[in-house]
Amino acid sequence: MAEFEKLALMVSDSAKAQEVAQEFQSLTDWVSPEDADTVVVVGGDGFMLQTLHAMLDHGNVKPVYGVNLGTVGFLMNRYRGADKVLQRLEKARGLAVAPLCMEATTQEGQVHTFCAINEVSLLRETRQTAKIEVTVDTKVRIKELVCDGVLVSTPAGSTAYNLSADGPILPLDSQLLALTPISAFRPRRWRGAILPDRSQIRFRVLESDKRPVSVVADQKEVRDIAEVSLAIARERELKLLFDPGHTLDERIVAEQFVV
């Protein structure tokens, strides 16, 4: 297929991935990621996220096929030997994933913009609980959320930190976001919300001098924030490739039946 004529190879520096790196190197004449039409990523979920973020940062987004040689491999395909990867790639199915765009303003007025594929989380920096005002689409929904933190998750990230914080699992085609508190003290009975992914979400940190808060967009952190605004960035959509019958949406469904 023409789509896969120019392939780039990205291999994690983990010992497990490096053990089989030579097997992948000998499969074809690989090109640089900049010249490729598709990228094969060998490693784990962390390395996959790192690769996807590098694409977003450089505006060089390509379809990505992941081969799991990490721990969980939620965003990856199962490793079944390097020799069949090219044939599997020809049969792979694409899945579009839209990241969250975060604009965070610090107490000093500095503005930071990052994308998150999994989630954006606000976390208290000290022993003091955080106090956060929560606004959705210009309407203040919670005037004072007293908590260890709060996060907004995409469907792709709903089985990661969001699930650990007792947030809901979202089907990939649901067009929803999960707004999940982390150890909420007040409102004590609030367990979070499921929102349309067209929602504009804003967090404002209260009593920031006494109760400083940081924000993390996947792997990128900004400390001492005053305000965070979030929205889905459809214009920066990513494409992940999966083997038939082993897609991310099937894994998200399956995760709900793990006991």
Strand order in the sheet with 119-124: 193-196, 176-182, 149-153, 119-124, 213-217, 220-222
* 160 is an annotated ligand-binding site residue: yes
Q: How far apart are CA 190 and CA 255, in angstroms?
A: 24
Residue 158 labeled ligand binder: no
Residue 22, φ and ψ in degrees, nearest 5: -65, -35
Question: What is the C-alpha separation between 75 and 52, in angstroms, rounded?
Answer: 11
Q: Which amino acid is at 256?
A: Q
**29 labelled catalytic:** no
Is 206 one of the annotated binding-site residues? no
Q: Which of 109, 61, 68, 69 is nearest to 225 (CA)?
A: 109
The residue ranges of DSSP E strands in the chain, in sequence order, are 7-11, 38-43, 64-68, 93-97, 100-106, 111-116, 119-124, 130-136, 139-147, 149-153, 176-182, 193-196, 201-206, 213-217, 220-222, 225-232, 238-242
43 is in an annotated binding site: no
Find out whether 57 is annotated in a ligand binding site.
Answer: no
Is 77 annotated in a binding site? The answer is no
Is 243 among the annotated ligand-binding positions? no
163: annotated binding-site residue?
A: yes
Q: Is 12 annotated as a binding residue?
A: no
Catalytic residue, chosen from 45, 57, 224, 249, is 45
Q: 164: annotated binding-site residue?
A: yes
The answer to whether 227 is annotated as binding is no
Q: Alpha-carbon distance 91 to 76, whole Å? A: 15
- Residues annotated within the binding site are 45-46, 118-119, 148, 156, 159-164
Question: Mind telling me the catalytic residues?
Answer: 45
Residue positions forming the annotated binding site for NAD(+): 45-46, 118-119, 148, 156, 159-164
